[in-house]
Amino acid sequence: MSLTREQIVEGLVKILGSDKVITDKQVLQESSIDRFRKYEDVCGVYTQPLPAAVVYAESTEEIAAVLKFANDNTINIVPRTGRSATEGGLETVVENSVVLDGSRMNKILNVDTYNMMVTCQCGVSLEVLDDMLREQGYTTAHSPQSKPLAQMGGLVATRSIGQLSTLYGGIEDMVVGMETVFPNGEITRIKNVPRRATGPDIRHVIIGNEGALCYITEVTVKIFKYRPENNIFLGYTLESMKTGFEILREVMVEGYRPSVARLYDPEDGEYYFSHFAEGKCVLVFMVEGPKAIAEVSAKEIENIVQKHAECEKVNSQLIKTWFENLNWDPKKIAEEIDEIAQTQNIGFTTEVSGNWDVIYDIYEACCNRVREEIPDITMMGGHSSHSYMNGTNMYFMYYYNLVDITPEEEITKYHYPINKIIVEETIKAGGSMVHHHGVGKHRTHWIKEEYTSSYYILETLKKAFDPNGIMNMGTIIPIKK
């Protein structure tokens, strides 16, 4: 028989003590959602089942004890750290869930500048960590837009990627080892070595699990030398996205590795670049690293771009200023809430990826369909921001006016239909429906189409590691009705 809310809280207090178990209504309401339901938050209308409690663990042992208690009593656990999730991963869709917050586990445990890695607890803020490293001449080189908010556990759990990924890779390329707790309370460690061939790389069972398999309590990531004095910024305006994708491809295929390689369409670019590129696409590169390599890379990338007559170079200071204003901090989020409330205009993003031969088709089909089919749309555009040897991503940005709806209808009238178009067009073209935000709870509908026959592996992992179904149910894999 399942426990009542009161019994759940009582059990948690026994494990953690009352000061770490929060049952304040407002805290529970705000903890029942993430930024996917930001309009409900703006309106103060919360439609998800409220969790029984939000609990703050301060050690791996406390995480293990809470998970074991939940596993024994079939209580759904929603793991979280920095709360910057955007895809519903933090929504408490199961009655009487417990939000297990690791943000107080915020110690940087070891900075190893000889073996070039740093070990920290899951609640360490990426920005705090990186600022500390930069003072010593090092960096994590991980720089997502959520850097001022996100914490290390969540970044690994969602397969995060940063703005410098084209050189340094995503978080999956940076993680060396981890400590993880499984639902039965088992604490596991993957040791920190440069490489191994000892069977499957089990780090990848954990990286990107979105709290649906286990709880990441500690991570070790690579560090890199920090040499911003060598950064070179390049920017160009051009007429078409098609040309832009061709240039990105050529840069990658020829073997150059700018840290930043981005292509904006005119609609998305208008917000950032209207003062010099109105109505045009914008191509941006940043190269970094040792001075000689940075200079040669910049020169060769310029040579590639110059072969395309439609590209016009812009002053690099324009690009540097843009780059310095890219991240989202708590002030920007507070301003956004105020703006949404006043204008009743709201924006979201959906990020996908595709090989070079389909990415333009995905871009074109999604933009055309959303513009034609979605009512009250005020902006539909996007950019490519992470390129690889085989292809690139598309980060779609869309805004719409909220007309004649209740707060909860925002999702059904606008957000779901847009997501549906983007995901379906991407899968149809052979791309991946999620590039770096995670599946969360709102793209699970298409998970089988995404995985096709390999869904067997995903489903088996879930059954093996979370047999009682207590880990962030409804995330990655939909709840069976």
Partner 1 sequence: MKILVCFKTVPDLEMLSEEDWAVDSNLAVDVSFVKNILNCFDESALEMTLKLSEYSESFNESLTLTALTIGDKKAEMFLKTLYALKFQKAVRIENNEDVRFFPEVIAAVIAQYVEKINNQDVVVLGRQSGEGDNAKTPLLVAEMLGWPCITQVINIEPSQEERLRVTSMVEGGTLIQVIDTPCVLSVGNAPVSYLRVPTLKDKMSYGKRAIEVLNINVFNIASLLNKCYHEYQLIGLEKISNHRAGILIEGATTAEKAKKLYDHYLKERLEKQ
Q: Which residues bind partner 1 (CB under 8 A)?
A: 270, 272-275, 278, 315, 317-318, 320-321, 324-325, 338-339, 342-345, 371, 376-380, 399, 401
C-alpha closest to that of 100 among 219, 221, 220, 214: 214
Q: Which residues contact 391 (CB under 8 A, 6 or more apart)?
A: 353, 354, 355, 356, 358, 359, 431
Q: Residue 330 and residue 167: Cα distance in Å, rounded?
A: 28
Task: Tally Cβ neighbours within 10 Å of residue 150.
Answer: 24
Q: Name the CA dihedral angle for 124, 126, 132, 137, rounded to a multiple of 10 degrees.
A: 140
Nearer to partner 1, 104 or 462 (CB): 104
| Min separation Cβ 328 and partner 1, Å | 14
Nearer to partner 1, 368 or 406 (CB): 368
| Min separation Cβ 322 and partner 1, Å | 8
- Is residue 180 within a helix (H) or strand (E), and if so which, with residue range? strand 175-181
| Min separation Cβ 80 and partner 1, Å | 21
| Min separation Cβ 315 and partner 1, Å | 7
Nearer to partner 1, 56 or 182 (CB): 56
Nearer to partner 1, 188 or 401 (CB): 401
Radius of gyration of the chain (CA): 22
Q: Residue 144 and residue 327: Cα distance in Å, rounded?
A: 8
Q: Residue 24 and residue 7: Cα distance in Å, rounded?
A: 16
Nearer to partner 1, 293 or 326 (CB): 326
| Min separation Cβ 233 and partner 1, Å | 11
| Min separation Cβ 435 and partner 1, Å | 25
Task: Tally Cβ neighbours within 10 Å of residue 17.
Answer: 11
Nearer to partner 1, 186 or 409 (CB): 409
- φ, ψ dihedrals at 395, nearest 5°: -110, 100
Nearer to partner 1, 221 or 314 (CB): 314
Contact present, 232 and 316 (Cβ < 8 Å): yes
- Is residue 312 within a helix (H) or strand (E), and if so which, with residue range? strand 312-314
| Min separation Cβ 52 and partner 1, Å | 24
